[in-house]
Each structure stands twice: as C-alpha cells, then as structure tokens.
Structure 1
Amino acid sequence: MKRDEALDVVKESLAEIVPDADFAALGPDDTFRDALELDSLDFLSFIEVLGRRTGIRIDDEDTPNRTTLSDSADFLVARTE
C-alpha cells in the first residue's frame, strides 16, 4: 500500500466514526482525540474499523501509536510491504 492510499483509508475509517469531521483542518501530526474530540470508545472503534478495512491486525500494543494521520498511515505502509 502506498502512503497516499494509506492516508485515504485512515480518513475513511475516521469518517465512519466521526462523519462530520473536518479533515481539511486535521494536520498530519494532530492527535485524533484532540482535533476530532474522540473519546476512548470512539478511538477503539476507529482502530476496529481500520483493521477491518485493511485486513491488518492491529494489536493492543500497536494501538497507542495510531493517534495521528502520519502514525496510522506509516503503520499501514509498513505492514503491507
């Protein structure tokens, strides 16, 4: 998976959880919880959706590092190489 594809998947996954999210205002290193006001359940739902959409297993120890667009996209790219 290329990085731009990974970014799209991350945004699409977030959009399932926060349909009215303004992704134009979300910077690559802004944390989802702050920028999109995600609570812990929303964040876990995002992780589940991201895993389902990509078929990539996201273990509990990987979850704390999936908090920005950049982190999440880099993770997906690394897992698909």
Structure 2
Amino acid sequence: MAHLSRDTLRETVVDCILAVAPEADVDSLPPGRPWREALEIDSFDFLNILVDLEKRLGVSVPESDYHELATLDGLIDYLERRLTA
C-alpha cells in the first residue's frame, strides 16, 4: 500500500471507529487516554474496528500486539510502523 500521511491514517482510524460506534466523540478524546475506555468500545466492537482497518489498510493486528493500541496515538503509531515495514 502507498504511504499514507499521519493525518490520512488518523482519518481512516476515526472512520473505522465511527462505522462501529457512530455516537463516539473522537474529537474530544483526551490525548494519552485509553480510547476504548473513553469511547465505551467493548471487545466485540474493538475487533470489528480492527477488521475494518485490515480491510481498508491491509494490516492485520495479532492479539499479542493489542497492548500497543491502548491510545489513539498508539494505534496510529502501530499502523504507521506496519505500513512502512
């Protein structure tokens, strides 16, 4: 996949979150706060978001890496690393 800017990657992540949780207020999410907790994303919705990200970006996330996705920035950082690897 072609290189995506960080802003485009963030937009894609937000789109995937909103596809599963349309009521989520991603813009008011405090930096560094766990996004799943702040947006009340349960484990089923979390997996649906990851499936959508895999479809859109071609990046699968093994369960052993879930700890790296705790914050929105962490998720974006993780995807950025995987896309440039």
TM-score band w.r.t. shorter chain:
0.7 to 0.9
| TM-score (ref. length: structure 1) | 0.86
CA distance in 2, matches of 1:53, 1:46: 11
**Higher RCO by CA contacts (8 Å cutoff, separation 6 or greater):** 1
Matches within 5 A, 1:15-30: 15-30=18-33
Give ranges in structure 2 of 5+ residues lacking alignment.
none
Q: For this pair of structures, how many residues does the alignment match? A: 81
Corresponding residue number in structure 2 for 1:51: 54
Task: Say which one has the larger Rg.
Answer: 2
* Higher share of residues assigned helix: 2
Distance, in Å, in 2 between the alignment partners of 1:68 and 1:11 is 13
Deviation at 1:41, TM superposition (A): 1.0
Give the counterpart of 1:14 among 13, 17, 27.
17
CA RMSD of aligned residues (A): 1.4
Pairing 1:39-78 to 2, within 5 Å after superposition: 39-78=42-81
Tell me how far 1:64 sits from its aligned partner: 2.8
Identical amino acids, percent of aligned pairs: 32
- State the shift of 1:69 in Å: 1.2
Aligned to 2:35: 32
Using structure 2 for the length normalisation, give the TM-score: 0.82
Structure 1: runs of 5+ lacking an equivalent: none
